[in-house]
Chain A
Amino acid sequence: GAVVSQHPSRVICKSGTSVKIECRSLDFQATTMFWYRQFPKQSLMLMATSNEGSKATYEQGVEKDKFLINHASLTLSTLTVTSAHPEDSSFYICSARTASGGDNEQFFGPGTRLTVL
């Protein structure tokens, strides 16, 4: 159980375009989803926390108007990178916590590798 999927797994786009990444919890309801970004040889950096039905909470330094997060249902959260630039190229990973969430475990999706040309 506790499977999280992401789509697409890899995307290449031109500078200035927008890219949407989907994160789904397949076999559980996720009241909270998290979005992380990882640059090569760096650790995972939390970008934002997304709660179903409410606005996302962004970490300091993350532009909320550039990284749009929507968590419209208990199984789906989306991250849209607007007007992407080469410096946005990174590995984007979502994670989800079960509705009970008592143990604070987070289950990760397989990640989306974004390359902006």
Chain B
Amino acid sequence: QKEVEQNSGPLSVPEGAIASLNCTYSDRGSQSFFWYRQYSGKSPELIMSIYSNGDKEDGRFTAQLNKASQYVSLLIRDSQPSDSATYLCAPGRAGTALIFGKGTTLSVSS
């Protein structure tokens, strides 16, 4: 049974702060890792992908991957109220469907 664990939150941070979202996964065969953002009532939107150990930065977002620890995280710098959403972690193997965690709800207060 492939499992993806995320702290459901809510994670509350003030505007301008760094939000740190964490995810652990059980499938050691996972090769690709994605972070999706989902606003209430909407479908998921891809915001970051990472495939190798280490950090990957894209604007205010940084994804961190540690395959040995089966851990992936997402940092959001200079958090904005518009970042308030549920963030879904999704590791995957090539050629198979992504399996999603339950997501972490982030609330950014102005």
Contact = CB atoms under 8 A, between A and B. Distances in A.
Partners in one complex: yes
Interface of A: 34, 42-44, 46, 49, 91, 93, 95, 101-111, 113
Most buried by B among A43, A106, A109, A110: A43
B43 A49 contact: no
A72 B31 CA distance: 29
Interface residues of B, number: 25
B28 interface: no
B25 interface: no
Most buried by A among B32, B93, B98, B100: B98
Given A46-B97, A49-B97, A104 B32 contact: yes
A105 B46 contact: yes
- List 8 A-B pairs, minimum CB-CB distance, nearest first: A111-B43, A104-B32, A43-B102, A108-B43, A44-B100, A34-B97, A43-B100, A93-B43
Nearest to A93: B43
A45 B28 CA distance: 20
Mostly, the B contact residues are loop
Nearest to B45: A108
A10 B93 CA distance: 32
Contact of A44 (B41, B44, B93, B95): B44
Contacts of A44: 44, 88, 100
5 contacts: A103-B51, A104-B95, A105-B32, A105-B49, A108-B45
Contacts of B94: 101-102, 104
A100 to B, nearest CB: 11
B75 interface: no
B63 to A, nearest CB: 14
Contact of B46 (A34, A101, A107): A107
A113 B43 CA distance: 11
B65 to A, nearest CB: 14
A107 B96 CA distance: 14
Most buried by B among A91, A103, A104, A108: A104
